[in-house]
């Protein structure tokens, strides 16, 4: 029988802060009344997580990337003890998410971007007073902590303003302040910029990087499907899809893995029938045409399996079909292209 990975035995050493091993969680499929009456004892389950193995370093800004339904939010719920796993194990700073749930809740703060959870008829300072009282803070310590947090999130001048008058960005900052009340060691950010316009989102990401990750020193897990957001904020990322971890590494590492087969063909005839024939024959995969430049040259992005021999076969094929090629070069895909590549490498079997 395999020994469970514990923090003291984790292969990555003493800096491991979040560890999961073979973590699984399923939810019952919602059924209509007719289905319940016809099959009262039949149950169907949908897997949200299937054997998730992750290690996150202490102090790391770690990204969870993937499409909707990938399992990111479920993983957050497990790490914050809102739900329990069906099987597998997980630890945060040496605490087991099941056996040590009460202690764990004191060091883990999830930030769900739900503005409705704020008290809109109260000021920002009054909101923090209420939530601090619910967490057992009182007296001078509470007042000092609230003042400190309002300064950290840049709301010190808006502390007396009613939350209902706040912009979406200001509400997100207040949600962060609320999560920081207990001085958490792990901060869980679930799609923190999804309700913000591009300019506000950019400012909020700068705030997260400079004022939270760097200044507060806590470990941060960010769940997002925004590749550029993860690229800007995260030291490493994991790509989740249908409950499974498909890839883990720095954005640069993941890009290099995909780049081994990613090539760009520069040609004046990107719509030539030869390109479609190459796909049909399996010489190339995942073909996409980019816009032509001012000189009339366009680029066709493809995956070419087979290394140098595969590239030689592609050039020979295009030559036989009289397709002019200026050059063939390997290129580094964007993080969004990496995610798309990883996800489509594991098609659904349902």
Using one digit for the tens of pLDDT, what is the confidence trace for 146-170? 999 999 888 999 999 999 999 988 9
Q: How many angstroms separate the CA atoms of 75 and 80, rounded?
A: 9
Range of the domain at 312: 256-344
Judged by average pLDDT, the poorest of 43-47, 145-149, 192-196, 234-238 is 192-196
Task: Indicate whether 179 belongs to any domain.
Answer: yes
Q: How many residues in total does the chain contain?
A: 350
pLDDT(208) > 90: no
Task: Indicate whether 315 belongs to any domain.
Answer: yes
pLDDT, tens only, 282-298: 999 888 888 777 677 88
Q: How many angstroms separate the CA atoms of 78 and 91, rounded?
A: 10
Q: Which of 194, 225, 250 is the last residue of a domain?
A: 250
Judge if 204 and 237 occupy the same domain: yes
Judge if 172 and 45 occupy the same domain: yes
Task: Indicate whether 312 belongs to any domain.
Answer: yes
Q: Which of 250, 270, 288 is the last residue of a domain?
A: 250
Task: Indicate whether 3 belongs to any domain.
Answer: no
Judge if 70 and 189 occupy the same domain: yes
Judge if 118 and 170 occupy the same domain: yes
Q: What is the DSSP string of 179-206?
A: HHTT--SEEEEESTTTTS-HHHHHHHHH
Task: Indicate whether 2 belongs to any domain.
Answer: no
pLDDT(347) > 70: no
Judge if 99 and 122 occupy the same domain: yes
Q: How many domains does the chain contain in total?
A: 2
Judged by average pLDDT, the poorest of 225-229, 247-251, 276-280 is 225-229
The answer to whether the CB of 45 falls within 8 A of the CB of 17 is: no
**Cβ-proximal residues to 151 (8 Å cutoff; 6+ apart), any chain:** none
pLDDT(83) > 70: yes
What CATH number is attached to the domain comprising 141?
3.40.50.300
Mean pLDDT along residues 306-312: 86
pLDDT(1) > 50: no
Judged by average pLDDT, the poorest of 83-87, 93-97, 136-140 is 136-140
Task: Indicate whether 87 belongs to any domain.
Answer: yes
pLDDT(178) > 50: yes
Task: Give residue 10's pLDDT band: very low, low, confident or very high (50, 70, 90).
Answer: very low
Task: Give residue 344's pLDDT band: very low, low, confident or very high (50, 70, 90).
Answer: confident
Mean pLDDT along residues 299-304: 88
What CATH number is attached to the domain comprising 279?
3.30.70.260
Q: Which residue has the higher pLDDT, 55 or 200?
A: 55
pLDDT, tens only, 28-39: 888 788 877 777
Backbone φ/ψ region at 70: left (φ over 0), alpha (ψ -120 to 50), beta: alpha
């Amino acid at each position: 029988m395999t020994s469970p990975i514990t923090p003291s035995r984790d292969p990555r050493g003493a800096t491991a802060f979040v560890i999961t091993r073979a973590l699984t969680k399923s939810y019952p499929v919602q059924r209509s009344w007719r289905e319940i009456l016809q099959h009262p004892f039949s149950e169907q389950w949908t897997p949200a997580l299937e054997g998730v193995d992750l290690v996150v370093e202490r102090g790391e800004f770690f990204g969870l990337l993937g499409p909707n339904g990938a399992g990111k939010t479920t993983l957050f719920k497990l790490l914050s003890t809102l739900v329990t796993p069906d099987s597998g194990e997980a630890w945060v700073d040496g605490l087991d998410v099941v056996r040590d749930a009460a202690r764990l809740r004191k060091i883990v703060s999830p930030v769900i971007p739900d503005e409705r959870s704020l008290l809109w008829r109260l000021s920002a300072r009054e909101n923090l007073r209420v939530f601090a009282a619910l967490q057992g803070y009182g007296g001078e310590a509470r007042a000092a902590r609230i003042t400190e947090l309002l300064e950290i999130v840049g709301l010190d001048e808006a502390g007396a303003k009613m939350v209902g008058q706040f912009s979406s960005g200001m509400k997100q900052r207040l949600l962060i302040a609320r999560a920081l009340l207990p001085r958490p060691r792990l901060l869980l950010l679930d799609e923190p910029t999804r309700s913000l316009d591009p300019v506000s989102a950019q400012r909020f990401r700068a705030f997260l990087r400079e004022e939270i990750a760097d200044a507060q020193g806590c470990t941060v897990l960010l769940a997002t499907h925004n590749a550029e957001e993860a690229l800007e904020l995260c030291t490493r990322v994991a790509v989740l899809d249908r409950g499974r971890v498909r890839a883990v590494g720095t954005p640069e590492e993941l890009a290099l893995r995909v780049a081994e087969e990613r090539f760009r063909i520069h040609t004046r005839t990107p719509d030539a029938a030869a390109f479609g024939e190459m796909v049909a024959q399996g010489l190339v995969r995942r073909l996409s045409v980019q816009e032509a430049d001012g000189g009339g040259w366009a680029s066709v992005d493809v995956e070419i399996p087979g290394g140098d021999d595969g590239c030689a076969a592609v050039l020979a094929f295009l030559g036989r079909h009289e397709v002019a090629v200026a050059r063939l070069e390997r290129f580094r895909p964007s993080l969004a292209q990496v995610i798309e590549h990883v996800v489509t490498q594991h098609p659904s079997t349902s």
